[in-house]
Amino acid sequence: MNPNETKEIVFILGVVKEKSQATKLIQNYKNSEKVSIEFLKLKEVWDKYLQNFIANTPDQDFNSIINIWNPYQCKTTFDWARYVSFYETGIGRGLGFRDSNQDTLAVCHTLPNKVHDRLIELAKTQFESGKVYHIYFPLIGRGDYPNYINPIMKFFGDDHLWMIFAVSNYLKETGDMSILKEKIKFVEGSEESLYEHLKRVIKFTHDNTGQHGFPLIGTADWNDTLQLHGPNKQGESVMVAMQYHKALLELGEIAEKFNSKNDFTTFINLADKMKENINKNAWDGEWYVRAFDDDGEVIGSQNNEEGKIFLNTQSWAVFSKVASEDQGLKCMDSVRKFLNTDYGIKLFFPAYKRFYPKLGGISTFPPGLKENASIFCHTNPWAEIAECILGRGDIAFEYYKKIAPSTKNEIAEIHKTEPYIYSQMITGNDHPKFGAAKNSWLTGTASWTMKAATDWILGIRPDFEGLIIDPSIPKNWNKYRVVRNFRNAVYCIIVINPQHLSKGIKKIKIDNIEQESNLLPVYNDGKTHKIEVQMG
């Protein structure tokens, strides 16, 4: 090039199923004017995507994350799951079943049609027994298991349950009950409605319980490295028991809306029995135990020297409605006492200092790294949600801020990953590099932090009959404003907090008409509706 000369270079990167499609696209975008037009279209797509939920609160960092960066990461994660990144090659990895279901949660309000298609696609990887493939490959439409699957317990205890949570979220957001009637094939080739697929989820867990009456963990549960399988095939997960309880409540609600009274009664009765069993056999006095190994020995108890208390069975005890209010406060107080650190809440305490064959991969990492007592960011929003349910908004927001990317600029030399994107984990305080983050971008943290912030802290969450308003905010917030698109209407919600409370609604006005309920009706009229909420 000559001095002061400028040139425009078009670089094209993309994925297509057929080479002929690639050739056509390349030819089309050799024209720089067409590229400019596409950039404008791209801007319009992102503007439309980001306008579905806009928050204006007294915390500017929170606003930046919730309005731009978190939803941006949620869409990226929805598109790619854990398939390929700087940390994963994608070869043989596929899209995770549990990952992909969770990724739908935070984009459903803005990409409902794509979520619909993803849910149908995921249901096709389910077996007639109710279990599912752990991973699937979207380009070829086939599921598979990873190479670390246990051949004698060829399932993951939690995988299939996530489908109920994802479908329930979709139904509440869209009101589209017709999806439940859609016919979908099982892996074996037979065909049933999506509703029947959900019922098979429950059947599989119900049919696969251990000596304590808790669901068998299989190869593992949410924690892929907690591998309790052995010759007795008796490893049990209390976390999955709690997820099962919540899934039963969710599917019970769906059955009621689907006019299936017998199913509703069945699911609620099963939920009551599991709740009773958890509180009888998994309550350890100050918190809930995590699991039972293949020999029936407890994990996550005061009787253990290492791994005494785990985070997930405390947050899920509250989230799943297993714990009483007193138990919920006790177990979350124990989380604060033993697991809370300067950079987030760690998975458990104390860390394992040597390898325990009966526990598997969880004890192969150095203390404070990955699943061995690191700050696994994915689990922190569950604790935030639990604190919101308990009405402790200040604690929930404190936990939110500790792993928030925007707070990491001050410790960039320690944190080391992007200060606008959530990471999979932050090294725990048992490790010499405490505070260093790893595996950014493709993580379930993105979806769950979005849900914790929007649905629980700001307290605006979808339900079958409308939007629920139930804030759990920092007491020092005077007011905040949210614009929320919901079923072809726009809700402009202003919440004022004159008494500086964390929780509680005194009155709600909708278009200047006062109502007693905190459930906003569905308008579906394409108009904007002004909601005034006073806490008290």
pLDDT of 2 over the 90 cut? no
Does residue 325 contact residue 248 with C-beta atoms inside 8 Å? no
Distance CA 365, CA 399 (A): 25
Q: Check residue 130 and report its DSSP letter.
A: S
> What helix, strand, coil percent values describe the chain, rounded to 5?
40, 20, 40
Q: In Å, what is the CA distance from 268 to each residue of 248, 257, 325, 459?
A: 7, 14, 20, 26
How many residues in the chain? 536
**Whole-number pLDDT of residue 20:** 86
Structure tokens, 101: 């279901």
pLDDT cut 70: percent of the chain above it: 99
From the list 224, 294, 430, 470, the catalytic residue is 224
For domain 58-457, give its CATH number from 3.30.365.10, 3.40.50.1000, 1.20.1250.20, 1.50.10.10: 1.50.10.10
pLDDT of 175 over the 90 cut? yes
**Whole-number pLDDT of residue 79:** 92
All structural domains of the chain with their residue ranges = 58-457
**Beta strand 298-299 pairing with 490-496:** unpaired
Count of beta carbons in the 10 Å neighbourhood of residue 103: 29
In the predicted model, what is the mean pLDDT of residues 423-443?
A: 96
Q: For residue range 376-418, list pLDDT tens digits in order.
A: 999 999 999 999 999 999 999 999 999 999 999 889 999 999 9
pLDDT of 288 over the 70 cut? yes
Q: Can you give the pTM of this predicted structure? A: 0.95
Q: For residue range 5-53, list pLDDT tens digits in order.
A: 998 888 888 888 888 888 888 888 888 888 889 889 999 999 999 999 9
Phi, psi angles (nearest 5°) of residue 439: 55, 70
Which DSSP string do the residues of 510-532 spell out, in sequence order? ETTEEES-SEEPP--SS-EEEEE
**Whole-number pLDDT of residue 15:** 82
Closest CA to 400 of 65, 103, 56: 65
Q: In Å, what is the CA distance from 206 to each residue of 103, 122, 222, 244?
A: 26, 21, 18, 9
**Whole-number pLDDT of residue 19:** 85
In the predicted model, what is the mean pLDDT of residues 277-296?
A: 97
Phi, psi angles (nearest 5°) of residue 100: -65, -35
Does residue 334 contact residue 364 with C-beta atoms inside 8 Å? no
**Whole-number pLDDT of residue 523:** 96
Average predicted confidence (pLDDT) for the chain: 95
Q: For residue range 43-94, list pLDDT tens digits in order.
A: 999 999 999 999 999 999 999 999 999 999 999 999 988 877 777 666 666 7
In the predicted model, what is the mean pLDDT of residues 211-240?
A: 95
Q: Is 224 a catalytic residue?
A: yes
Burial of 364 (0-12, 13-18, 19+ CB in 10 A): middle
> What is the separation of C-alpha 448 from the centre of its chain, rounded to a whole number of angstroms?
4
Listed in sequence order, the DSSP H helices in 236-342 are 238-257, 261-281, 312-319, 325-338
**Beta strand 53-56 pairing with 479-485:** antiparallel
